[in-house]
Amino acid sequence: MYQPVTISSTAEKVVYLVIFHLSFVMFVWSYGKTIFTSPASPSNEFCLSKADKEQYEKEERPESQQEILRRAAKDLPIYTTTASRAIRYCDRCQLIKPDRCHHCSACDICVLKMDHHCPWVNNCVGFSNYKFFLLFLMYSLLYCLFVAATVLQYFIKFWTNELPDTHAKFHVLFLFFVAAMFFISILSLFSYHCWLVGKNRSTIETFRAPTFRNGPDKNGFSLGCSKNLREVFGDEKKYWLLPIFTSLGDGCNFPTRLVIMDPEQLTVSSQNEPAKSSGANQPFPTRPLSESKNRLLASDSQWVESGPEDENVKSGTKKHIIVSLES
């Protein structure tokens, strides 16, 4: 009877050690990737040319400056503007801001799909390391849960006076409370960011909705929960739990809920149809989305076509993308 008990006890210790070391390694790996991954900045195509920059600095009227920015942004993949329908321009970095890009005053750079600047990692959380940040929260949550669960039995014995009267029992009490408090605080933060991923929003966009041609829309970038998840974690599910960059896209432009036609059809329709009331000051792109974004928009089974928008598209028009969702 003694031998099976010994084997079971040894097996439990092995399982505990494996789980402990695995969770600790993944926690440290994710934390390190979150800290040391540099925030992604806009590419050079969003920077003004030397001539446009000089002309922009010479102009004193905001209307003239906006005209220069509209001319420079006409071929850029930009769908959002400021609340006043102006081109989003960073005077500090001297570049046109891509969609979901914001300037971080702490890092003093424009960060692609900026979520927030996190003092706990001393880095900006954005497109380049958002997946690492989520995994860091998840593995730290599991690590705290594992510590609290393994100490729980000794914590119960502490209150029932079954532990020996030594200084170690106070260490058990301290360890349990610390693990439990960290678990509760991280759980709230992790749950909030899971909600953001499901809605395809950043923390900044939660407080200030992005402005599209039809006005502010907090769900403008939402493609449905499944596609929103794939946009952050990628198509390969086997890499989702590893701190390896697998996010889709380039961080400079994102698929939206707008109806985007084929570029050739869009050019023809723009010549034959009068301009809509969205205004000439909104330079929406005519270039197709990248391959990774087309994969997100390829599966028709998850799309829900809205009536008003689809009625405006003639049956003979070939669409490149239909992305009208009910969020």
**Catalytic positions, written as ranges:** 118
Which amino acid, 256?
A: T
Whole-angstrom Cα Rg for the chain: 26
* DSSP for 312-327, written as a single string: TS-TTSPEEEE-----
Torsion angle, alpha carbons of 308, 310, 315, 316, to 10: 120
User: 320 — phi, psi (to 5°)?
Assistant: -90, -40
Q: What's the rounded Cα separation, in Å, for the pair 130 and 248?
A: 12
For residue 49, what are the CA distances in angstroms to 42, 86, 125, 183?
Answer: 15, 19, 29, 50
CA distances from 91 to 57, 88, 95, 220 (A): 10, 10, 7, 26
Do residues 308 and 208 lie in contact, with contact meaning Cβ atoms separated by under 8 Å?
A: no
Q: Are strands 123-125 and 211-212 parallel, antiparallel or unpaired?
A: unpaired
Contact (Cβ atoms closer than 8 angstroms) between residue 38 and residue 122? no
The partner residues of 111 in beta bridges, in order of sequence, read 102
- Find all residues with CB under 8 Å of 272, minimum gap 6, and list them: none
The whole-angstrom separation of Cα 116 and Cα 171 is 36
CA proximity to 310, closest of 298, 321, 324, 299: 324
